[in-house]
Amino acid sequence: SSHFTHQKVLVIGGSRGIGAAIVRRFSKEGADVAFTYAGSKDAADALAASTGATAIRSDAAVRDEVIGVVKAQGPLDVLVVNAGVAVIDDSLAIDPDAVDRMIDINVRAPYHAAVEAARQMPDGGRIIVIGSVNGDRMPFAGGAAYALTKSALQGMARGLARDFGGRGITVNVVQPGPIDTDMNPHDGPMSGAMHDFMAIKRHGTADEVAGMVAYLAGPETRIVTGAMHTIDGGFGA
């Protein structure tokens, strides 16, 4: 049996893309998995049916929904906060409400979810948030607000690693580069420009990111905390 057998895993934002791959990976390894979604009910129901995971409708833009679902699902052995949106546009034209909603989902939700999870989490638990290589590098115009949200996760992880380290709870950021999902399809209009920045000129797969998440949740990484783990084909190199 796998390390994750009988472990309780919650994925915030798991209906599609990277989050769905994380749900599949932990389910396959025998964990007891629940995931949240906001809009994609059909995808969430199909994923639940194919994996045995539990789908929970909960909007990551609403702080008390995030806290409520983490509390109700706890105690968690592993929390993964994946839900994220990318509002990328000219800073002078961008809708300020869209920027603030992105901050709610990409920054406020991971912070409050992580803190709430730690309240009940057993010693040695794992908190993993999905950031972005854009937390380190923003090599094109229009990404200031998105980059701000992903850089914020770096400071959060460093600080929470200190807060929870005494209990062996680790806090890490996985930072993907271009990954083939609905958010960033491998054949989208920006693909060529993205591949120009990369050493390995292809989009990564959601399964590749899920592999790094599983590693950071597994038995070999108990001493890994407060750190950023970039998986980007050299986009930020």
Smallest separation, CB 31 to ligand NDP (Å): 18
105 binds ligand NDP (CB under 6 A): yes
Put residue 101 in one of left, alpha, beta given phi > 0 → left and psi -120 to 50 → alpha.
alpha
Q: Is 146 a residue of the active site?
A: yes
Residue (31 or 80) nearer to ligand NDP, CB: 80
Q: Please, which of residues 48-67 interact with ligand NDP by CB under 6 A?
A: 59-61
- Any bridge partners for residue 129, and if so which? 81, 173
* 110 binding ligand NDP? (CB under 6 A): no
Q: Where are the alpha helices (DSSP H) in the chain?
A: 17-28, 41-51, 63-73, 96-103, 109-120, 144-164, 191-197, 206-217
- Looking at the Cβ atoms of 185 and 219, the one nearer to ligand NDP is 185
- Among residues 37, 111, 146, 215, the one annotated as catalytic is 146
230 vs 13: CA distance, rounded Å = 20
Choosing from 7, 9, 19, 27, the residue that interacts with ligand NDP (CB under 6 A) is 19
CA distances from 217 to 8, 9, 24, 78, 145 (A): 11, 10, 14, 7, 29
Query: Per rule CB under 6 A, is residue 235 in the interface with ligand NDP?
Result: no
Binding site for ligand NDP (CB under 6 A): 13-19, 36-40, 44, 59-61, 82-86, 105, 130, 132, 176, 178-179, 181-184
